[in-house]
Amino acid sequence: MEPAALPTATAISPPPPKLQIDRFADGDLVCLKLAGTIDEAFEGKRLAESVKSGTLILDLGDIRKVSSFGIREWVDFINGVGKVAQRIILVECAPKIVDQLNMVANFAGIGRVYSFYAPYHCDYCDRDDRVLLQADRDHELIKSMKPAQRACASCGEMQYFNEDPITYFSYLAGQDKYELDPDIASFLASKLSYAIADSARKLRVDKTIEGRVTFIKLAGDLDKTFPRDKLAEGLEGAIVVDVAGVGKIEPAGAAEWRSLVQQVTPLVEAIYLTAVPPGFLDKLTRPEDLGPKASVASFTLPYTCAKCSTTAGQLIDVDTHYEVLKFATPPDLKCNDCKGPLTCAAPEGLLANLAKLPKPNLSAELVKLIKEVRERKPQPKKVATTVAEAAMSSRGGGIGVAFTAAIATVVLGGAAFFAYKTFGGKGSAAPGRGQKTGASAEVRPAWVTTDAALAAGCVDAAGGFQCTGVSGLAPTSDDAVAEAGDAALDGLAVALEGKIGDAAWTTQVAAQYREARAAKLSAAERDARSAQARRAVRDARAGVARALKASGNFSAPPEAYWEEYTGGAGKQFVGFASVTVTADQVKKMLAAYQATATVEGVTAVPTFPLLAWRYPDVTKGAIITSIDVKKGGLASAGLTPGYIVLSVAGAKVADASGFAQLTTDELARLKPIGGTMRLEVQAGDGESKAFSVPIVADKPVDAGGTRPSGGTGSGGKPPGTGNVNVWDRYGGGTGQNRDDPTQ
């Protein structure tokens, strides 16, 4: 009898930490994001010693509990950092933090509360919500201690403030009204996607002239109010534009910026962009954006230090690192604090842009001058003391001229900075979910790295990609997993786009959907509770997934996981999905999507899945990328690059080769008899359009090459012998001959 097998020891994973601390840095600005429980294990003094910054931002939105001994450690921490930091700002304070502010003396130290959550409850559907209030925008409400009722996002009935307002607002009402400085506002809005006051996001412009060099510094959001004409007026010589402080980039703002570059290109010697943040680098530094005279002199990328747990943007000089950057590779850098090795946290799609950057070739004198201007302290502005002075200072049409020191790095948006942008708005995962009551597995898969609703992104996996997606709240687990799977495939499509470097493809294909995608994601990010905004994202991603699958180039099954949450709205589900694509699969997909076909002087490529962000129903077709009008015929019939050909003579077009084959067959049918070739094209927004190409019947010539009177072709004897008719192509055009298909 064999002895009984001994039980196998099972490795026990250590419990997750009660308090998680993430650090984000940008020059002299440091943000600590705390999530969990503050208790005796906090080690406040030790954390305070690690903070070396002039401005410290504390994100306390995810604090669930503060114990008695935790208060002691916290006070040690806040007193310690108060000796180093000149400014401490508390943002998104959870109700537990507000309670401590009201009860514990010196809980905030020298810090000021900029934003905090107010608890609301709905009796009709038993739903609890948190509403973010700000020290500037909501100052009068806070001072009055009379929070108004609000409509419940679930049932539409009125929610009420679920605390005693006099007690809850007692500390906060004692603060004076204040607004964030532009450098902090830009850091919060563009790097970490925090909500800030509209006034802090308004674009500010500062212009300085040094010899023949004009320096322009921008801080704020790029939107439709971008003062293109005012900026362009009088520009000459070399232009250096510091865009470090640029936050969100709306589609209209991007269009205005491109127009500015085109407008001033003939007028100036060169345009150099400095301290370009990741969001700007991703959207506005492709060859077609820069034109012939603009180049990126320096940019920032997010890097993470595992040794000191710091995520920070690093300023990278293009000339210095060009030999590495041209291979779409980030340079190796060391941590400024601990000197440990840094790991670049930028996604593949962003890194792919590096290879397309032109070498700026700045002179040593200009490099030195740029450094001096960037480090120069801003001069205080004179305050208008009379009505006349005030009127004179306002003639710039709303362009603010006061400027504060720009941030050295950046975010879309939005290392962890970019993850916030890529994976949806910060904090969009947890609020409103309720309590977790179930899951499809006991332990979350390792590939689940974010909770953010509507997340989508990829990481490199041995030359391929591992792409993950997260759903929003869904009524069933199947719906949640399906939505997450579509998000993962959307991330895959974005990663594939990042590896396509063809300029014509970018201009005629990518340009058709980029602004639509950015606009829909921004809408969902601005209002995480908007059913309409979420539906637009969900429908677009479903279209992307359909297009990927319809292409036949993708068949990898997703790995899925879901969690069940129970709250005021009942049971709801959040889905997570992961798709792994090998290097060979990536290579095949890239080859398929860039495969060109030419017919009658018209060159086309297959449609790309991300077009679904603009055209949800377009899953197959061919996009015209170029036309050689010298070929005449079809090329001169009015087709335009950018048109998406959906069908030829009623037959659906699958891809570029299908378009070429269907067109060739239809021309062969019509040329002997004449007629009209019908195309269905998608040309801009709205319904698809019918496009008709007249085909003139060919005129026969005799076998000797002599055309009947009135002919214009060149003739020529066909192969073979006997009386065989020879036919011109069509429309009396090229004079090229082929055998009569009726013989």
Q: For residues 192 and 150, state if they share a domain.
A: no
Residue 62, φ and ψ in degrees, nearest 5: -110, 20
* Contact criterion met (CB below 8 Å) for 423 and 450: yes
Q: Is residue 401 part of a domain?
A: no
Q: Answer with the one of 393, 413, 443 that is the final residue of a domain.
A: 393
CB 565 within 8 A of CB 573: yes
Q: How far apart are CA 294 and CA 501, in angstroms?
A: 19
Distance separating alpha carbons of residues 742 and 329, to the nearest angstrom: 59
- Whole-number Å distance between alpha carbons of 410 and 303: 11
Asked whether residue 210 falls in the same domain as residue 91, the answer is no
Which regions in the chain score pLDDT beneath 50? 1-14, 198-200, 379-431, 701-743
Rounded CA gap, 219 and 372, in Å?
19
Q: Which of 546, 572, 588 is the last residue of a domain?
A: 588
Counted domains in the chain: 4
Same structural domain for residues 670 and 575?
no
> Are both 477 and 599 inside the same structural domain?
no
pLDDT score of 593: 92
pTM of the prediction? 0.43
Q: Is 547 exposed, middle or buried (0-12, 13-18, 19+ CB in 10 A)?
A: buried
Are the C-beta atoms of residues 480 and 438 closer than 8 Å to each other?
Answer: no
CATH code at position 655? 2.30.42.10
Shared domain for 225 and 308, answered yes or no, is yes
Is 415 a member of any domain?
A: no
Instruction: For residue 428, give every residue at least 6 positions away whose Cβ sits within 8 Å of its Cβ, in sequence order, or none.
Output: 452, 453, 454, 525, 528
Residues 251 and 354 grouped into a single domain:
yes
Q: Are residues 467 and 482 in the same domain?
A: yes
Domain that holds residue 26: 19-181
Tokens read off for 328: 């779409």
Clarify whether residues 201 and 310 are in a common domain. Answer: yes
Whether residues 516 and 620 fall in one domain: no
Q: What confidence score (pLDDT) does residue 741 get?
A: 33
Which residue pairs from 728-732 have beta carbons closer than 8 angstroms and sit at least 24 positions apart in sequence?
728/698, 728/699, 729/633, 729/671, 729/698, 730/633, 730/667, 730/670, 730/671, 730/674, 730/695, 730/696, 730/697, 730/698, 731/632, 731/633, 731/694, 731/695, 731/696, 732/696, 732/699
> What is the pLDDT, as a whole number, of residue 553?
64
Give the 3-state DSSP-derived string for 73-112, with helices as H, strands as E and coil as C: HHHHHHHHHHCCCCEEEEECECHHHHHHHHHCCCCCCCCE
Please check whether residue 355 lies inside any domain of the structure. Answer: yes
Does residue 544 sit within a domain? Answer: yes
Domain assignment present for residue 734? The answer is no
- pLDDT tens digits for 471-489? 988 889 999 999 999 999 9
Residue 1 lies in a domain: no
Query: What pLDDT does residue 396 have?
Result: 34
SS3 label, residue 60:
strand
Tell me, what's the pLDDT at 206? 82
On whether residue 409 sits in a domain, the answer given is: no
Q: Which amino acid is at 27?
A: G
Q: How does pLDDT run across 653-682, given as a tens digit for each residue?
A: 999 999 999 999 998 898 888 888 889 998
Domain boundary among the residues 528, 554, 588 is at: 588
Residues contacting residue 445 through CB under 8 Å, at least 6 positions apart = 559, 561, 576, 578
Q: Do 338 and 373 have their domain in common? A: yes
Distance of CA 407 to the CA centre of its chain: 20
Q: Per the domain annotation, does 725 fall within a domain?
A: no
Relative to beta strand 675-682, strand 689-695 is antiparallel
Q: What is the pLDDT of residue 194?
A: 59
Q: Is the domain of 155 the same as that of 235?
A: no
255-276 burial, b if ≥16 CB within 10 A, otherwise e? ebbbebbeebeeebebbbbbbb
Letter string b/e over residues 499-521, b meaning 16 or more CB atoms within 10 A of that residue's CB: bbeeeebbbbbbebbbbbbbbbb
Per-residue confidence (pLDDT) for residue 6, from 0 to 100:
44
Under a CB-based contact definition with an 8 Å cutoff, are residues 441 and 221 in contact? Answer: no
> Do 90 and 218 share a domain, yes or no?
no
